[in-house]
A = this chain, B = another copy of it.
């Protein structure tokens, strides 16, 4: 493997000049730059990451703490990870995985070994054991998810509270007086996953504000179970029924269940669901989907940490970014105001 010394020799300049050509940290005459760049190309030179990290005290690596996976979320976790990795590369950072089975000490380790310049912590819970740890770490972190105590932290997440509100308001605006919330899976609720609470809060707020009654249907079971839940909701609703299904798996089930019951969204029922684009399209179902924009959240998280790293001065003492959820297929889908 060629070193920068080899490049320097071939280009007939000093090693420091090669370094400055790479970093751009001082002016270089056009012709020496050219000579150096040619030499680098000719030797297929790649700077040694370890040496660079040692000398510059920055590894150009961001640690990514990935959560324990419980079935439900694997797919979306994967989406976060790949977007984060790709986005980081755009700013010349690599991603090192930190799994949860090392515990919070895993974070101390990668920081202590100076393997990483900063951290992105995924799926942060309301009372997350990793939070006190990162507070004492000498590198910046960005959390995806909002812990209860978040003073002095940089957090980002979808705005689940707003989402809850938006869903209820959307349906209220159309004239629905009763809406059924197809909830997250029991397991998720039991784990006190933070964003569920926030979504519920939004729903409750809006429901109180606009005077809509909210029924709760239990989370993912089977198609048959979902059909039963739908039937029950129909009974308890006067007029046109309306459904909110914020969890992807449940959204899919709901769509199937409605289809089986011969109910067409936008004609017989109103539905706002976090339904995968794929399913909505495949089935040509005129659906209003609500998306929590995982790509956007991931990208922002990377941008935040990169900003902290490249321009530490600009690092805010605290930040709480909430990404606005997005309705899609809107016009074509929502059931017009039912007659009273």
Contact = CB atoms under 8 A, between A and B. Distances in A.
A332 interface: no
Nearest 6 pairs between A and B by C-beta? A50-B53, A46-B112, A74-B75, A50-B54, A74-B78, A78-B78
A113 interface: yes
Contacts of A109: 46
A55 to B, nearest CB: 8
A151 interface: no
B223 A260 contact: yes
A259 interface: yes
A79 interface: yes
B61 A82 contact: no
Contact of A71 (B85, B221, B260, B276): B276
Contacts of A223: 223, 256, 259-260
A112 B61 CA distance: 16
Contacts of A82: 66, 69, 99
Contact of A259 (B61, B89, B224, B256): B224
Given A78-B78, A82-B66, A113-B46, A95 B97 contact: yes
A89 B77 contact: no
A317 interface: no
Contacts of A76: 74
Interface of A: 1, 44, 46-54, 59, 61, 64, 66, 69, 71, 74-79, 81-82, 85-86, 89, 94-97, 99, 101-102, 106, 109-110, 112-115, 138, 221-224, 256, 259-260, 276, 278, 282-283
B222 A112 contact: no
Given A1-B114, A99-B89, A48 B44 contact: no
Given A51-B54, A113-B46, A101 B75 contact: no
A85 B113 contact: no
A74 B85 contact: no
A140 to B, nearest CB: 16
Contact of A49 (B78, B99, B115, B259): B115
A61 B1 CA distance: 18
Contact of A75 (B75, B221, B256, B282): B75
B66 A113 contact: no
B85 A110 contact: no
A113 B53 CA distance: 11
Contacts of A106: 89
Interface centre among A51, A109, A113, A138 (most CB of B within 10 A): A113
B59 A222 contact: no
Given A1-B112, A109-B46, A95 B94 contact: no
A183 to B, nearest CB: 16
Nearest to A51: B54
